Amino acid sequence: MADKEATIYILDLGSSMADCHNGRIESDLDWSMRYVWDKISTTVAASRKTWNVGVIGVKTDDTDNPLDSQDGGEGYEHISVLQELGPMTMGSLTALRDSVKTSNTQIGDAISAIVLAVEMIEKFTKKLKYNRRIVLVTDGEAPIDNSDIDDIAQKIKRSGIQLTVLLDRGVDFDDSEFGFKEEDKSGIKEQNEAILKDLVEKCNGLYGTIAEAISELETPRVKSVKPYKTYDGLLTLGDPSVHEDAMSINVERYFKTHKATVPPASRVVMKTESSTNPSSVADGDGMQGVEPMPSFSAVKDARTYKVNDPDAPGGKRDVDRDNLAKGYEYGRTAVHISESDYNITKIETTKSFSIVGFIYEEKYEPFLNMGGTCMTVAQRFNDAAALKLSSLIHSLHELESYAVARIVTKDGKEPALILLAPHIEPDFECLYDVPLPFAEDVRNYPFPHLHKVITVQGNTITENHRNLPSLELQQAMDDYVDAMDISSWEKDDEGARTMEYAAVEDLFSPPLHRINQVIRHRATYPTQPIPPTPAILLKYANPPEDLVAKARSDLEDLIDKASVKKGKISLATTVIMLSTNIRLVPPKAQGRKAKGDKPRPISGLDIDALLKQPENKRAQISPDKAIPEFKQKVEIADNQADIEDAMKQMGAIIRGIVTKSFSDQDYERAVEHIGVMKETAIDYEYPDLFNKFMVDFKSRLLSGEFGGNRRELWWRIKSVKLGLIDSNASEPSKVTPEEAAAVSKTLSETLFLRYTADI
């Protein structure tokens, strides 16, 4: 069970807190509140009913606290309870944000506020188990009464409250990192600091500066998760139920690594007017002028089911979910499985953890790991198990071996194979394990050799080939890799480079902490833009600068020897000369159709020459084999007119496919044809020919010219990004990326025509 918490923040709202110091443009209060808001919003985000927060203001204009009205309530003036102890919600956060404002007074005793906070906590928590905390944030500019310090400290200690005092502009820190020696410090302040420090020392509290606290916020907080047990029972070698001499050890297995979840975004819609609940606005005091956070409602999915029915309009018919049976697909055959047989395809297993055999450490590669790690330890308070497991751990360690084991974590669960490795520390031993791949999990993808080249003719080349590193390149690479070693690049406390750089402990998950940061920020400051990403999350995005500087000459040498060039290899620079429009086509970085580069028969047969034979020439593209014939027609085109003609014919063929398509049957085919057409238009730099087709095609589609509602097809085209060719994709295009996107998006015919009038 999560611990219960009661935390009271005491905030100094004196008029002096409105000033700005140390070159900041924020007031001292706003600055200090950065820390407090962060803490409070973390509580809100956790949404725990047992985490209670109270807030007291000191040096407030008014006085509003229970002690003031009591007998002898002297010294409690200008102290207000801004929020009673209780769970934090977004609503109370909004209300609080409004009441935390600097006042016009400098009177109010911080020590009295502490006494008040202690009272509040005691009353609230009674004698129950709570984590009790008081956090005081002040600039220490107002007189405080130190007469009862000893008693108060005693009381704080007795109640088990942890007191933290955070001074705005602390002075006792000569530490260069945080210390601002305040030259014009007032006498009162000096005195107050001494009093507060004394109090903190007497009740074993914490004393620090806001600057320090804020800098701590930068280091992301790692949420600790309770150990999760994945298995407990016997670890066996052999089968104890059959063979007397089988080994069995009582063990427990826990997660060692497990992907921390990044808060997911939910899909929401704005609440409709009628459903907005007016009662959600708190008491009404001071809420005027507060812009309410837009109110959202979650989005649910409702699923409907359709089956093919040639007689139904559109070829599909709705069916009721309740009339459907459950089953699986075997190939394209639907295999129905009745409710009672539902587990028939599940393998029957019993909980077990059994060693299959042993392998050598050096014969295993970590990139075979299928996922996160678990740790296996002996059952608690079981000396026999601990001793036996220890002998296995040490044996594996001595023999530099790993164990392969089969584990079924619960009856009926799928069996898994895991690899167990020994781990020994002075006060701790365990077996770590990672999941192993099964036969089906490893794909057989053949790749050519890296250290030798086999030519088309079947000869093996091991040196002097553009794909093989020269000796000089290899040497330069060796030197560079050695120079960039970070095995001990991180500085230790003494500033010597002895620690591993980028060790796991130092790696914070950027997406996780970034999202938490912006959510908290947005909840606290709804009107402010999102803050920049903290540097600590981007620390490992680039190599350490000082190391790069050190390795500079090795890197320059490597770059020189590598002589890598951006762009794609081009065996023959292509010059396409067109009779009507003579242009030099520059070899493009990604052009796919450079002549020397395109696929050819292994024999080297001149296929272009073959296609140019009169009997192979295709004036008309046949709709049956439109794609190859279109490509070939363009490939051997002599002039622009030929290409234009090919594009025109292809367009007509595509329109034919769509018109004839029964429901969405031929949409994939249409998409493929459009894709080929677009690619070709880009490769041969005729974006306008394609764009003209596309604009015309879409307007016909929207007007229903292709027989019925074909919008689904447009959706498809858009989703696979087959809209207009913009000037990013092909330079000669007159369409900007924004225009292309707009044309893709709009489904309204009139709007569409307006967009495309000048294309």
Partner 1 sequence: MIMVDRWNPERRDEEEEEDEEDEFNETHYKAQKDALIFAIQVSDSMLQPPPKSEDKKANQDSATLTALKCAYQVMQQRIISNPKDMISIVLFGTEKTKVTDIKLPDSHCYLLTDLEVPAADDVKNLRGLVEEGEGADEILVPSKQPADMVMLLRLVLHLFQTRAPNFGSRRLFIITDNDDPCAGMKKNPSWDPAVRAKDIHDHGCTIELFPISHGDSKFDTSKFYDDIIYHDPVLDETNPGRVAPAKSHDGLNLLNSLVSNINSRQTPKRACFSRMPFEIGPGLTISVKGYNIIQKQAPARSCYIWLEDERPQVAVGETARLAEDSARTVEKFEVKKAYKFGSEYVYFTDEEQKSIKQFGNPCIRIIGFKDRSLLRFWASIKKSTYIFPSEDGYVGSIRVFTALWQKLLKSRKVGVAWHIARKNGNPQLVAVIPSRATSDEKSGTQYIPAGLWLYPIPFTDDVRDGPEIGKVIRTTNALTDRMNKVVQQLQLPGGAYNPAKYPNPALQWHYKILQALALEDVVPEQPEDATVPKYRAIHKRCGGYIQEWSQVADDVLGQIQEQKKIKREFEADNEDEPRPPKKARGTTTKDKNASEDGLSNAELRQRYDAGTLTKLTVAELRGAMNSRGLDTKGLKKDLVERLERWVEDNA
655-684: contacts with partner 1 (CB under 8 A): 666, 668-669, 671-672, 674-676, 679
What interhelical angle do 667-683 and 626-635 show, nearest 10? 10
Find the helix or strand (DSSP H, E) in which 8 lies.
Answer: strand 5-12
Say if residues 349 and 412 touch (Cβ distance below 8 Å).
yes
> Site residues for partner 1, window 254-283 (CB under 8 A)?
254-260, 262-263, 265-272, 274-275
Q: What is the SS3 string spanning 139-173? A: CCCCCCCCCCHHHHHHHHHHCCEEEEEEECCCCCC
Nearest approach, Cβ of residue 629 and partner 1 (Å): 8
The two tokens of residue 196 are 């507060």
Nearest approach, Cβ of residue 126 and partner 1 (Å): 20
Nearest approach, Cβ of residue 149 and partner 1 (Å): 38
Tracing tokens 């090795």 back to the chain, one arrives at 554
**Binding-site size, partner 1 (CB under 8 A):** 264
Say if residues 117 and 57 touch (Cβ distance below 8 Å).
no
Say if residues 29 and 155 touch (Cβ distance below 8 Å).
no
Asked whether position 360 contacts partner 1 by CB under 8 A, the answer is yes
Asked whether position 417 contacts partner 1 by CB under 8 A, the answer is yes
Q: Which stretch binds partner 1 (CB under 8 A): 100-108, 200-208, 233-241, 646-654?
A: 233-241
Question: How far is it, in rounded angstroms, from Cα 133 to Cα 118?
Answer: 9
> Site residues for partner 1, window 175-214 (CB under 8 A)?
none
Nearest approach, Cβ of residue 637 and partner 1 (Å): 14
Q: Which stretch binds partner 1 (CB under 8 A): 95-103, 140-148, 185-193, 545-553?
A: 545-553
The two tokens of residue 289 are 């002028």
Nearer to partner 1, 195 or 477 (CB): 477
Candidates 721, 731, 732, 754; binder of partner 1 (CB under 8 A) is 721
Half-sphere exposure for 503 (CA within 13 Å, toward CB): 11
Residue window 608-637: x/- pattern of binding to partner 1, with contact defined by CB under 8 A: --xx-x-xx-------xx-xxx-xx-----
Q: Which stretch binds partner 1 (CB under 8 A): 3-11, 73-81, 412-420, 644-652?
A: 412-420
Q: Which stretch binds partner 1 (CB under 8 A): 95-103, 187-195, 200-208, 354-362?
A: 354-362
What interhelical angle do 711-719 and 667-683 show, nearest 10? 50
Question: How far is it, in rounded angstroms, from Cα 520 to Cα 530?
Answer: 10
Nearest approach, Cβ of residue 651 and partner 1 (Å): 17
> Site residues for partner 1, window 578-607 (CB under 8 A)?
589-590, 592, 597-603, 605, 607
Say if residues 62 and 251 touch (Cβ distance below 8 Å).
no
Q: Which stretch binds partner 1 (CB under 8 A): 30-38, 59-67, 159-167, 476-484?
A: 476-484
| DSSP bridge pairs for 499 | 490
Residue 346, SS3 per DSSP: coil
Question: How far is it, in rounded angstroms, from Cα 689 to Cα 648?
Answer: 9
Nearest approach, Cβ of residue 148 and partner 1 (Å): 38
Nearer to partner 1, 90 or 759 (CB): 90
> Site residues for partner 1, window 497-526 (CB under 8 A)?
500-502, 504-515, 518-520, 522-523
Say if residues 707 and 659 touch (Cβ distance below 8 Å).
yes
Asked whether position 563 contacts partner 1 by CB under 8 A, the answer is yes
* Alpha carbon distances (Å) from 409 to 235, 252, 660: 11, 11, 56
Which residue type sits at 689?
L
Nearest approach, Cβ of residue 564 and partner 1 (Å): 4
Find the helix or strand (DSSP H, E) in which 217 lies.
Answer: helix 210-218
Nearer to partner 1, 104 or 719 (CB): 719
Nearest approach, Cβ of residue 598 and partner 1 (Å): 8
Nearest approach, Cβ of residue 249 and partner 1 (Å): 8
Question: How far is it, in rounded angstroms, from Cα 752 to Cα 745?
Answer: 9
Nearer to partner 1, 296 or 662 (CB): 296
52 — phi, psi (to 5°)? -110, 140
Asked whether position 738 contacts partner 1 by CB under 8 A, the answer is no
Q: Which of 181, 142, 153, 176 is nearest to 12 (CA)?
A: 142
Nearer to partner 1, 175 or 545 (CB): 545
> Site residues for partner 1, window 97-126 (CB under 8 A)?
none
85 — phi, psi (to 5°)? -60, 130
Question: How far is it, in rounded angstroms, from Cα 115 to Cα 203?
Answer: 13
Nearest approach, Cβ of residue 42 and partner 1 (Å): 10
Nearer to partner 1, 184 or 738 (CB): 738
Nearer to partner 1, 297 or 736 (CB): 297
Nearer to partner 1, 293 or 576 (CB): 293
Q: What angle do CA 314, 316, 320 make, to 5 degrees?
A: 140
Nearer to partner 1, 584 or 609 (CB): 609
Q: Which stretch binds partner 1 (CB under 8 A): 3-11, 31-39, 239-247, 694-702?
A: 239-247
The two tokens of residue 699 are 């307007």
Nearest approach, Cβ of residue 117 and partner 1 (Å): 24
Nearest approach, Cβ of residue 740 and partner 1 (Å): 15
Nearer to partner 1, 1 or 496 (CB): 1
Asked whether position 298 contacts partner 1 by CB under 8 A, the answer is yes
Q: Which stretch binds partner 1 (CB under 8 A): 168-176, 201-209, 392-400, 648-656?
A: 392-400
The two tokens of residue 172 are 């006792």
The two tokens of residue 428 are 């701790």
Q: Which stretch binds partner 1 (CB under 8 A): 96-104, 148-156, 201-209, 300-308?
A: 300-308
Q: Which stretch binds partner 1 (CB under 8 A): 68-76, 156-164, 363-371, 642-650?
A: 363-371
Residue window 13-52: x/- pattern of binding to partner 1, with contact defined by CB under 8 A: ----------------------------x--xxxx-----
> Site residues for partner 1, window 432-451 (CB under 8 A)?
432, 434, 436-451
63-67 long-range CB contacts below 8 Å, 24 or more apart?
Answer: 65/116, 66/116, 66/119, 67/112, 67/115, 67/116, 67/119
Residue 514, SS3 per DSSP: helix
Question: How far is it, in rounded angstroms, from Cα 266 to Cα 575?
Answer: 54
The two tokens of residue 668 are 């994939």
Nearest approach, Cβ of residue 21 and partner 1 (Å): 31
Residue window 52-81: x/- pattern of binding to partner 1, with contact defined by CB under 8 A: ------------------------------
* DSSP string for 336-354: E--GGGGGGGSPP---EEE
Nearest approach, Cβ of residue 125 and partner 1 (Å): 21
Nearer to partner 1, 150 or 560 (CB): 560
Candidates 194, 206, 312, 368; binder of partner 1 (CB under 8 A) is 368
Q: Which of 116, 204, 212, 216 is nearest to 168 (CA)?
A: 212
Asked whether position 398 contacts partner 1 by CB under 8 A, the answer is yes
Question: How far is it, in rounded angstroms, from Cα 708 to Cα 705?
Answer: 7
The two tokens of residue 233 are 């029972």
Say if residues 436 and 419 touch (Cβ distance below 8 Å).
yes
Nearest approach, Cβ of residue 674 and partner 1 (Å): 8
Which residue type sits at 175?
D
Pairing outcome for strands 5-12 and 131-138: parallel
